Structure 1
């Protein structure tokens, strides 16, 4: 699940990475958070695609 805290922490680490760099522990955390975020996005897209129903206009005549 994507929470505001998750997004804030990802952004915080990204800003720190650009300004002063990250420690090895922070790099590991950043990687884990990004993977968690992407997993949630992929799950949401998959759920949305699973709900799509195709309708053939020719059958409705």
Structure 2
């Protein structure tokens, strides 16, 4: 599901839960939507971290080696 539609539906279910409560099927749907949202968030966050390069004040690259290895495997680095 698209991120905007996903967020909108999660918010609709949250508002309904506060007002009148959710049915069993809505609870299941809510849990599935939240899991999908978190998976998307984690994937996007991981991608951002993997693309990052860190430099100190002197201009020397201090990107952690673990991130450098991931970047090499993805063909983003050639050092």
Q: Structure 1 length normalisation: TM-score?
A: 0.82
- Is it true that 1:11 corresponds to 2:11 in the alignment? yes
| SS of equivalent residue, structure 1 residue 43 | helix
- Structure 1 CA distance for aligned equivalents of residues 8 and 59 of structure 2: 49
Residue matched to 2:52: 52
**Considering only aligned residues, what root-mean-square deviation do their CA atoms show, in Å?**
1.8
Give how far 1:8 is off: 1.0
Conserved 8 A contact 1:13-1:26: yes
Q: Distance in 1 between matches of 2:17 and 2:8?
A: 14
Unaligned runs of 5+ in 1: none
**Which ranges of 4 or more aligned residues in structure 1 deviate by more than 3 Å?**
54-59
Larger % of helix: which? 1
Matched residue count: 59
